[in-house]
Structure formats: structure tokens, C-alpha cells
Chain A
Amino acid sequence: MTVLTFAALTLREASRRKVLRALAVLTVLLLGLSAWGFHTLVTKEFDGAQLTSGELRLIASQLLNLVMFGLSLIAALGTAFLAGPTLSGEMESGVALSIMARPIRRSTVLAGKWLGLVAFGGGFVALAGVAQFVIVYVTTGYWPTSPVTGLALLAFQTAVLLTLGLLFSTLISPMASGVVAVGLFGATWIAGVVGGVGRGLGNDSVAAVGTVSQVILPTDGLWRAAMYAFQDSTALLQFGGPAVRGGFPFLSDTPLTAAYLAWTVAWTLLVLGLAALVFRRRDL
């Protein structure tokens, strides 16, 4: 029950802090811009003719992935900067002192905060994602192949990053933990793109960069699997060519494997466990 108390408290904190307003503004801005973009895409003539339905599906797939990347970035930034201050900020300011002097275990507090943050990140991804799908559907008539799987994977990506943020939050200062988590997220994404280029060129050692980084921090692997769920596979087969074989950052040729999903779950539990261990031993 105490876990739920802390989950609810974390959600209340998120809703009352300025971070929620910043998230909302960024999201509305991104959704508005994408609505404009998609509308222009349908009505504009290229080389004297409008896009064929096949071309439109391919471009809509890519653009949807691009916008969803923007959303996932907002979700990642938001939760990482929420996860950072939530523990280290409370330890630094002294809020943790009176809380931890209550008859509760530190692991309970950590689990509650984690649950609250996952609910927050997941809720954001679901809400903003569905809004984006509707925008794309209304403007271009494109609906993602597996929207629920894709959104679930994006939510999981957010959960992975905020778990890492929580671990850092037990070790370093509030701001640093947010910055490091987001920095690693970006670095893994770039490594994923580099790996994709390697695969496109048939260079195994360059391709390995992406694979290794996706194992170390599973955010990029989940992101690629989510893109795969959003994009139109028939259009890709028709038009894709080498670009689909990993070379283009906003198209994916890799669906989620059961082994990778299992590893990601294990990774998340491992990092959360490590955070609990560090937090339990930490002097307040």
C-alpha cells in the first residue's frame, strides 16, 4: 500500500511541477507543427503531380517515425528530469529526512516513485501518441500497422530511461543525473544510427556499434522496434531498397525479438535492484 502512496505522490508532484506544463507546451507545439506538415504533404504538388498513395504511405511512415521520435525525446527528457530530482533532490534538500524517519523501507519508496514515473511516462506516450496517430490519419489517411505494440514499446523505452535516471539519482546530484541519463539516451541513439549505416554498407564491425549499444542501454533497440510497429511494411517493400536495411534513421528493418524483450525486462529489473541497493546503503 505504501508503494501506491508514493506512486500517487510522484504523480501529484509531476502534475504540480512546472515540468508538466513544459511537457504539455512542447507536445502541443510538436503536434501542431506535424499537423501542418502532414497537411502540406498531401496538398503540395511535387514535379507537377501530387504523391501517389504508395509514395504517401512511405513518406507518412517516415514522417510519423520522425515525429514519434520527437515525442519519445520529450517523454525521455521529461521523465529523466523528473526521475533525477525525485530522489537526489529530496536527499539534498532534506525532504527525505522526515519521510525516511517514518516506518517505511527505502526500497518501498523507490518502487513507489518508479511506479509513479512509469505511469506518468506511459500516460504521456499513450496520450500524445494517439493524438499524433489521429492527426496523421485525418490528414493523410495513414494508420500505423501495430499502434498498440508501438506505443507500448515507446512507453517501455521511457521506463528504461527513467529507471537509469533513478539509479543515477541515488548516486549523483539531481541535475547531473538528468543530464547523464538524457546524454546516454542520445549517445545510444546515435550509436544505433551508426550501426544502421554499418549494416547498410555491409560493414560488420560498424554494425556491431549499434548492436552493442542496444544491449548496454536498451532504449534504442526499443525505439527501433517501435518504429517498425508504426511504419507501413508493404510500402517499404515496394519503395524501400537499401534505405530500409538500416541506413535511414527513421525507418526500421528490425522487429522486436523475444530474446531482446526478455533482456530489456531483465536489464530494467537489474538496474532498479541496483538502485534499491545503493539507496538502502546511502546515508541521508
Chain B
Amino acid sequence: MNAVWASGLRKRYRKRTAVDGVSFSVARGEVLGLLGPNGAGKTTVIKMMLGLVRPDAGEVMLLGRPVKDPKARAEVGYLPELFRYQPWLTAKEVLDLHVRLAGAAVPEKERRDTLGLVGLGERTGDRVGGFSKGMQQRLGLAVALVARPQFVVLDEPTSALDPVGRADVRDIVLSLKERGVAVLLNSHLIGEVERVCDRVVILDKGRVAASGTLEELLGRSEVRLRLEKLTPEAEARLAQAGPVSRDGETITVALTEPGVDLIPDLVADLVALGVRVHAVEPGRVSLEDRLLDILGSDR
């Protein structure tokens, strides 16, 4: 079953069409990246998906319920792009409020742990009004995670974070994925998306410009090797992995099958065949190049 299923979403603000016929879905346990330039309609799509903005047309099913039913949001965690929390409450009180509103039974210790996870363990009793932007974004992350969500929506979750914070967010997303929680990640940091997302939807001018798994979008991957003492058996093993081409000392193998173990397996086999391996360089078109390519061809 899908965590979210959206079909034909449309939204106009006065004369400007913000979203024009966007359809997508996020499967349970899947991490979907939402990419696109500024003004592509990403945040509007997210808001329509959560019932915060009324679509002019289209349908959304959220965790198996139509989005118009407030219960659809019972197991949703959301970090908005505009993250602001009641400045007159403490971090702990904000979390308590959200747990109560979500109707979840989350023990005190788990709430504290959530604040600890985002790096606010020492600031639980401090008023949010005194928090820096980065700390407020961390609090927003805790709010999104605290009520044991099955679907987490992170809209630009690292916009105010330092590099350590960004790495923390990446780890959090990966651990959500491990626990089978679906995640929708909207981020300008393409590297971030590339590292954690299973699938990507690229929006441009309110429409879906491209979508698919990273492999589908980026095409086949390849590996460049520098080898010594290459035996015929070893060459046969290379050919088995995919078409081989040579450029001086560098051998490039275009890998025919997707798979994370492909390259380590190949290197292990080559070593077992007595080949001396000097360099292994996995390569493929980066998501950034592909994104610029897709957006460029659209203009």
C-alpha cells in the first residue's frame, strides 16, 4: 500500500498556475526525493498532500484515507519549509503538545530521546523564542519524528543546518528507511537526495518533468579500473560484468546490472585471480548533471 497517492493535483494562485497536473506516489518504507528549481511548486504540492492547501483539482490519499479526513494525518510527521514553533513554549512543551494533538501514546523518555536525537537534549526546558534558526529546525525535526509517524515529510530539512546537522539529517532519514517509515524529502542539496532517496520526482513549472528510481534517471553505472598482471581468466571475468573498453592503462567496464555488491564482488574475484588492483573508481552521471540536463531541455 502507498503512504501517499496523489493524482492530477492542480493549484492556481490568482493568474499564476503553481501546480499543473502533478501525480505521484510514495510507497510505504520508500524515500522519495522531490527536486526542482525555486518556484517549481514543490512546497505547494507538499501542502496539498497534507491538506494545508486546497487543490483546485486532483485527489490525495494519505496513508489509505482521503486527505480531507483529518484522521489521514494521524501518523504523519511534517517539518515545514517555514519552520516556526510557539516562541513562548519550551522545546519539551512543543513536543508534548504535538504528541497530544497526534493522539499518540509516547512515553516521556521517548520524547526526551527524540530531542536528544536532533541534538537538543540539553535544551529541553528552554523557551523556543531563544533558539537560533538551526535549533528551531532541529526542533521541527523532533516534532516531525516524535509521534511515531509512518510517513515523514521533510521540506528543506537542512536549510538552516551546519554540515554536522546535515549529516545528522541524512542519518535520521536512513534510520527511518530502515524502520520502514516512508519519507518524502524536498531538498536543494542534490547530493543529500542522491545518497538517501530510492526514487526521485523532478518538478519544473508546476509539472512533473521526470521521475523514477536513481538507476532509471541516471542510466547505467560504470567502473574505471587500473590493473596489473591481467590474465585471460581475469579479462573473461571483466567481460562478464559488462562491455569493456580501454584507454591507456585505464579499463572501463560499463556495468550491465544494477546492484551495490557488483563492484566489490568484481574486485574480490580479480584479486583471487592474481590481478594487482591499483585503482577502482565507480562512476556515473551525477544527479546534479542529470537534473540540469532535464531542466535545461525543458526551457
Do A and B belong to a common assembly? Answer: yes
Contact indicator A100/B102 (Cβ below 8 Å): no
Residues of B contacting A98 in the complex (Cβ-Cβ under 8 angstroms)? 78-80, 83, 85, 98, 140, 143-144
Mark interface residues in A257-284 (1 if CB within 8 Å of B CB, else 0).
0000000000000000000000001011
Mark interface residues in A1-29 (1 if CB within 8 Å of B CB, else 0).
01001000100110011000000000000
Contact indicator B84/A94 (Cβ below 8 Å): yes
The DSSP consensus for interface residues of chain A is helix
Tell me whether A102 and B83 are in contact in the complex, defined as CB-CB below 8 angstroms, given that A5-B100, A13-B88, A281-B54 are known contacts.
no
Cα distance, A284 to B46, chains bound together (Å): 12
- Least CB distance from A174 to B in Å reads 14
Contact indicator B88/A101 (Cβ below 8 Å): no
Residues of A contacting B72 in the complex (Cβ-Cβ under 8 angstroms)? 103
- Least CB distance from A27 to B in Å reads 21
Contact indicator B82/A94 (Cβ below 8 Å): yes
Residues of B contacting A283 in the complex (Cβ-Cβ under 8 angstroms)? 47, 52-54
Residues of A contacting B50 in the complex (Cβ-Cβ under 8 angstroms)? 101
- Least CB distance from B148 to A in Å reads 13
29 A-B residue pairs with Cβ-Cβ distance under 8 Å, sorted by A, are: A5-B97, A5-B100, A5-B101, A12-B88, A12-B89, A13-B88, A93-B82, A93-B84, A94-B80, A94-B84, A95-B84, A95-B85, A97-B47, A98-B80, A98-B83, A98-B143, A101-B73, A101-B76, A101-B153, A102-B73, A102-B102, A103-B70, A103-B102, A103-B103, A104-B70, A283-B52, A284-B47, A284-B52, A284-B53
Tell me whether A99 and B54 are in contact in the complex, defined as CB-CB below 8 angstroms, given that A16-B88, A17-B88 are known contacts.
no
Residues of B contacting A284 in the complex (Cβ-Cβ under 8 angstroms)? 47, 52-53
Residues of A contacting B287 in the complex (Cβ-Cβ under 8 angstroms)? none
- Is residue A44 contacting chain B, with contact meaning CB distance below 8 A? no
- Is residue B71 contacting chain A, with contact meaning CB distance below 8 A? yes
Residues of A contacting B227 in the complex (Cβ-Cβ under 8 angstroms)? none
Cα distance, A103 to B102, chains bound together (Å): 6
Cα distance, A214 to B143, chains bound together (Å): 46
Contact indicator B101/A102 (Cβ below 8 Å): yes
Residues of A contacting B89 in the complex (Cβ-Cβ under 8 angstroms)? 12
- Least CB distance from A203 to B in Å reads 49
- Is residue B175 contacting chain A, with contact meaning CB distance below 8 A? no
- Least CB distance from A196 to B in Å reads 42
Residues of B contacting A102 in the complex (Cβ-Cβ under 8 angstroms)? 73, 98, 101-102
Residues of A contacting B153 in the complex (Cβ-Cβ under 8 angstroms)? 101
Contact indicator B82/A97 (Cβ below 8 Å): yes
The listed residue (B70, B73, B78) touching A97 by CB distance below 8 A is B78
Q: Tally the A-B contacts, defined by beta carbons under 8 Å.
A: 70
Tier of interface size on chain A: 20 to 34
Q: Which of A230-251 contact B (CB under 8 A)?
A: none
Contact indicator B85/A100 (Cβ below 8 Å): no
Cα distance, A127 to B141, chains bound together (Å): 42
- Is residue B86 contacting chain A, with contact meaning CB distance below 8 A? yes
Residues of A contacting B140 in the complex (Cβ-Cβ under 8 angstroms)? 98
- Is residue B267 contacting chain A, with contact meaning CB distance below 8 A? no
- Least CB distance from A260 to B in Å reads 38
Q: Which of A76-101 contact B (CB under 8 A)?
A: 93-95, 97-101
Q: Which of B140-156 contact A (CB under 8 A)?
A: 140, 143-144, 153
Residues of B contacting A99 in the complex (Cβ-Cβ under 8 angstroms)? 101
Mark interface residues in B84-119 (1 if CB within 8 Å of A CB, else 0).
111011000000011011110000000000000000
The listed residue (A93, A94, A95, A103) touching B101 by CB distance below 8 A is A103
- Is residue B223 contacting chain A, with contact meaning CB distance below 8 A? no
- Least CB distance from A165 to B in Å reads 19
Residue of B whose beta carbon sits closest to that of A13: B88
Cα distance, A281 to B83, chains bound together (Å): 22
Cα distance, A94 to B82, chains bound together (Å): 6
Contact indicator A97/B97 (Cβ below 8 Å): no
- Least CB distance from B248 to A in Å reads 56
The listed residue (B52, B71, B86) touching A100 by CB distance below 8 A is B52
The listed residue (B53, B71, B86, B88) touching A103 by CB distance below 8 A is B71
Residue of B whose beta carbon sits closest to that of A281: B54
Residues of A contacting B76 in the complex (Cβ-Cβ under 8 angstroms)? 101
Contact indicator B78/A9 (Cβ below 8 Å): no
- Is residue B74 contacting chain A, with contact meaning CB distance below 8 A? yes
Residue of A whose beta carbon sits closest to that of B153: A101
Cα distance, A16 to B50, chains bound together (Å): 31
Residues of B contacting A16 in the complex (Cβ-Cβ under 8 angstroms)? 88
Contact indicator B97/A9 (Cβ below 8 Å): yes
Residues of B contacting A5 in the complex (Cβ-Cβ under 8 angstroms)? 97, 100-101
Cα distance, A103 to B150, chains bound together (Å): 14
Cα distance, A13 to B128, chains bound together (Å): 13
Residue of A whose beta carbon sits closest to that of B52: A284
Residues of B contacting A2 in the complex (Cβ-Cβ under 8 angstroms)? 101
Nearest 6 Cβ contacts at the A-B interface: A94-B82, A102-B101, A16-B88, A94-B84, A97-B80, A101-B78
- Least CB distance from B191 to A in Å reads 27
Cα distance, A103 to B100, chains bound together (Å): 10
Tell me whether A103 and B98 are in contact in the complex, defined as CB-CB below 8 angstroms, given that A95-B85, A97-B52, A98-B85 are known contacts.
no
Residues of B contacting A100 in the complex (Cβ-Cβ under 8 angstroms)? 51-52
Residue of B whose beta carbon sits closest to that of A101: B78
Q: Which of A100-134 contact B (CB under 8 A)?
A: 100-105
**Most chain-A CB neighbours within 10 Å: which of B54, B82, B89, B143?**
B82
Residue of A whose beta carbon sits closest to that of B55: A283
